[in-house]
Structure 1
Amino acid sequence: MASKSLNIAHRGFSGKYPENTMIAFKKAVEVGCDGIETDVQLTKDKVPVICHDETIDRTSDGSGFISQYTYKELLNMNFGVKFGNEFKNTKIPTLDELLAYVKETGIYLNLELKNSIVLYEGLEEMVIKKIYDYDLSNNVIMSSFNHYSMVKCKYIDAKIKTGLLYEAGLYKPEKYAEYVGCDALHPHFLSVIHKPIVEGIKSKDFLINTYTVNDEKYMKILIDLGIDGIITNYPDKLKSLLLS
């Protein structure tokens, strides 16, 4: 069992700041997170940008698919105003901006490839190249609900770390992880809340990073179970528990 669970800020400090923005990432680091979980999409002109949804409707004052806009066009959109007027000048970050910040701070980074709905051609190669451009292969784990994509990442570079996102209560998930070939399992936390499941996964030396844990009651349970990484919208709450 891990001696200390990593405090991983879900889309940055998304409980108090506009998700997947540089301010959310920086505020998460300020409150003492160990790492950040975030999402990568591709613009029309193939610029990797940070956004959870395939569309910009929920998080900006624009609408439509990210893949329909160039990066320059997306810079005209406001990615903070829906969270509060004080964030009205917030822009969509590029993957380069985030990787430069990770390089500066030395934090852990979980990059989720958003390629289950829009199958961005070449996304895996592009993201892996950028990870190496910034010399961050030791800091980064890639993840996706698209497990074909994670297999492709290992084919491109066997040394790149990958995690399989899932929500179902898999039977003996460690056997599936062995079959697919990965470094970690990234389940919804309720899928691994039972000790025998955790012990089975750990017996095969796979990491467990759970999402998205905002209730302190469950944070405590997962810490006691020795979960490797806890992904939360409230890294401040988790930090307090990890210090207690």
Structure 2
Amino acid sequence: MKELINFAHRGAAGHCPENTMVSFRRALELGATGIETDVQMTKDGELVLIHDESLKRTTGREAWINDVTLEEVRELDAGAWYGAEFAGERIPRLDELLELLKDRSTILNIELKNGMVQYPELEAKVIQAVRRYEMSERVVISSFNHYSLAVCKQIAPEIRTGLLYGEGLYEPWKYAHTVNADALHPWYGAVLPEWVAAAAEEGIAYHPFTVNEPQLMQKMIDAGVAGIITDYPDRLAELLSPKRV
């Protein structure tokens, strides 16, 4: 049985400002074996790591990512909203995270945020960056936009993809085959042990999100999932510790 992947959601988002380098580094310190992040594109076509299409919540600026340049984005403070001790943290470029992880065994889950905004050639640009760092075997590209994931597989069949969805998707492991996806990334409420087993028989892994309470983490572990996406990688690392077996 493969080791369950401890995906730190937007880094250690339960402890640090999400999708910042301090959050990613802290996640690794807390035992994460995977990092989850969100990628979007600036006005001048640069790949940056931020969840919301708008800059308002995490930087205070009234603007959308696709309306500002990378230079403008890098001037913004993405840490102070979370706590004064994080003031000065910047919105990272995808390359910065790839550089951090390139010599590690960490799995990187890159979510393409191309729902509200259709970023031109986002798939190709992300894949180009992943290949440049020779990380194709350690990356999972996910999205709620399943058309986008189909494009990713056409460009890079060697890179794994994961279907993000909420609930009510009937036999999602069969649907996954229609877009050549390798994994299912459902809301945790859409996970049952029998579904995980059925998916595994078809070679499809379950990586539910966003699982933060230890009791719920244990429920997902008992269901047989292959990975868990959490804001608290330390809590999951503790549950997975050999000392607890």
Residue aligned with 1:141, SS: strand
Match of residue 144 from structure 1 = 143
Question: Within 5 A, what are the aligned runs for 1:174-213?
Answer: 174-192=173-191, 194-213=192-211
Query: Are 1:39 and 2:38 an aligned pair?
Result: yes
Counterpart-to-counterpart distance in 2, 1:13 and 1:158: 30
Counterpart-to-counterpart distance in 1, 2:9 and 2:158: 25
Match of residue 234 from structure 1 = 232
Query: Are 1:153 and 2:156 an aligned pair?
Result: no
Amino acid at match of 1:211: F
Any conservation in 2 of the 1:62–1:78 contact (CA below 8 Å)?
Answer: no
Q: Count residues with an aligned counterpart.
A: 242
Amino acid at match of 2:215: K
Q: CA deviation at 1:3?
A: 4.8
Residue aligned with 1:185, SS: strand
Query: Are 1:22 and 2:21 an aligned pair?
Result: yes
Residue aligned with 1:163, SS: strand
Gaps of 5+ in 1: none
Q: CA deviation at 1:104?
A: 3.2
Match of residue 98 from structure 1 = 97
Amino acid at match of 2:55: I
Question: Within 5 A, what are the aligned runs for 1:104-123?
Answer: 104-123=103-122
Counterpart-to-counterpart distance in 2, 1:10 and 1:63: 25
Structure 1 residue ranges (4+ consecutive) displaced by more than 4 angstroms after TM superposition: none
Counterpart-to-counterpart distance in 1, 2:80 and 2:48: 18
Any conservation in 2 of the 1:43–1:71 contact (CA below 8 Å)?
Answer: yes
Counterpart-to-counterpart distance in 2, 1:227 and 1:8: 12
Counterpart-to-counterpart distance in 2, 1:8 and 1:141: 11
Q: What per-residue deviation string (whole Å, max 9, x for no partner) do you get for residues 51-72 of structure 1?
A: 0011111111322100111010
Counterpart-to-counterpart distance in 1, 2:178 and 2:162: 13
Any conservation in 1 of the 2:11–2:18 contact (CA below 8 Å)?
Answer: yes
Match of residue 162 from structure 1 = 161
Any conservation in 2 of the 1:164–1:185 contact (CA below 8 Å)?
Answer: yes
Question: Within 5 A, what are the aligned runs for 1:213-232?
Answer: 213-232=211-230
Counterpart-to-counterpart distance in 2, 1:153 and 1:187: 19
Match of residue 172 from structure 1 = 171
User: Bigger CA drift: 196-205 or 65-74?
Assistant: 196-205
Any conservation in 1 of the 2:6–2:236 contact (CA below 8 Å)?
Answer: yes
Q: CA deviation at 1:175?
A: 1.1
Counterpart-to-counterpart distance in 2, 1:18 and 1:157: 32
Residue aligned with 2:229, SS: strand
Residue aligned with 1:104, SS: coil
Counterpart-to-counterpart distance in 1, 2:34 and 2:148: 23
Any conservation in 2 of the 1:8–1:232 contact (CA below 8 Å)?
Answer: yes
Counterpart-to-counterpart distance in 2, 1:234 and 1:94: 23
User: Bigger CA drift: 110-119 or 159-168?
Assistant: 159-168
Counterpart-to-counterpart distance in 2, 1:15 and 1:199: 30
Residue aligned with 1:58, SS: helix
Residue aligned with 1:129, SS: helix
Residue aligned with 1:199, SS: helix
Percent of residue pairs identical:
45
Any conservation in 1 of the 2:36–2:108 contact (CA below 8 Å)?
Answer: yes
Any conservation in 1 of the 2:137–2:158 contact (CA below 8 Å)?
Answer: no
Query: Are 1:64 and 2:60 an aligned pair?
Result: no
Query: Are 1:125 and 2:108 an aligned pair?
Result: no
Counterpart-to-counterpart distance in 1, 2:205 and 2:195: 13
Gaps of 5+ in 2: none
Counterpart-to-counterpart distance in 2, 1:150 and 1:130: 16
Q: CA deviation at 1:207?
A: 1.1
